[in-house]
Amino acid sequence: MVMAVEPFSVGENLTLRGLAAVLAAEEIGTTFVRRDDGSPGIVSERDVIRALANGADPDVVWAADVMTEELVTALAGERILDVALRLVAENVRHAVVLDEDRAVGVVSIRDLFRVVTDELLDTWTE
């Protein structure tokens, strides 16, 4: 079963500087973006770095400008291996975890790696 970090969100008009500060303060690598029109979005530390590397002004570019709208999702009860394989296939590090149609969290490839390695260690030490 997929476990996830409780969803955190920011407004779509938060600047990259503000977004970076939130990610650092909360010690998270990604956050949902609340859009005025209700459409979903997610932004990661990679999105911020990529934008800055491409010359984005951190005080002018907003979260909505760099967020991803095509979300990779996982179901709350889905097998961990299936989610890990999807993240690898999509070449992304985070999946939005859904319970029914509601986003209940985010799971990262790092979260899944921890579970898989713990399982392997348990198997090898038995």
Task: State pLDDT tens for residues 4-60.
Answer: 566 789 999 999 999 999 999 999 889 999 888 888 899 999 999 999 999 999 999
| Residue 14: predicted pLDDT | 96
Residue 4 within a domain: no
Residue 60 within a domain: yes
SS3 sequence, 10-21?
EECCCEHHHHHH
Are 93 and 72 in contact, with CB atoms under 8 Å apart? no
Residue 3 within a domain: no
| Residue 81: predicted pLDDT | 87
Residue 1 within a domain: no
Give me the DSSP letters along 69-120. Answer: -S--EEETTS-HHHHHHHHHHHT-SEEEEEETTEEEEEEEHHHHHHHHHHHH
Residue 100 within a domain: yes
Residue 2 within a domain: no
| Residue 74: predicted pLDDT | 92
Supply the range of the domain harboring residue 96. 9-125
Task: State pLDDT tens for residues 62-121.
Answer: 999 999 999 999 998 898 889 999 999 999 989 999 888 888 888 888 888 888 888 777
| Residue 86: predicted pLDDT | 94
Please say if the pLDDT value at position 122 is more than 80: no
Q: How confident is the model at residue 3 (pLDDT cuts 50, 70, 90)?
A: low
CATH number of residue 52's parent domain: 3.10.580.10
Q: What is the DSSP letter of 7?
A: P
Please say if the pLDDT value at position 1 is more than 60: no
Are 1 and 119 in contact, with CB atoms under 8 Å apart? no
Q: What's the domain count of the chain?
A: 1
The residue among 25, 57, 19, 59 whose CA lies nearest residue 41 is: 19
| Residue 125: predicted pLDDT | 75
